[in-house]
Amino acid sequence: MPWCNQCDVYLTPNTLNEDGSCPTCNEGVDTADMAKAATPPAKAPWHFWVMVVALVGYLGWRLVEAIAWVANAL
């Protein structure tokens, strides 16, 4: 998020002037945090997807068992 040292205020990128300066005082702003915001979010690690597949398999098997249990109870 851009920070204006002169005004002591955070600015949104949309409110900056065309040249990237503060709209109030026309001084340059510190945009170091904008570089972090422009990076894409991190992907989920591979072991997360292994756990998702294991969970889907487990719940699928439990559903099959529940259907079989209900079928045998009737």
Question: Average pLDDT, stretch 33-44?
Answer: 71
22 touches 11 (CB < 8 A)? yes
Same domain as 32, residue 57: no
Same domain as 34, residue 7: yes
Same domain as 66, residue 47: yes
Question: Pick the residue with more confidence: 10 or 55?
Answer: 55
Mean per-residue pLDDT of the chain? 85
Note down the domain range covering 50: 41-74
Say what the pLDDT of residue 63 is: 98
Same domain as 20, residue 6: yes
Residues 21-32: tens digit of each pLDDT: 888 887 777 766
69 touches 41 (CB < 8 A)? no
Q: How many structural domains does the chain have? A: 2
Same domain as 56, residue 69: yes
pTM recorded for the entire structure:
0.48
φ/ψ of residue 18, rounded to 5? -55, -35
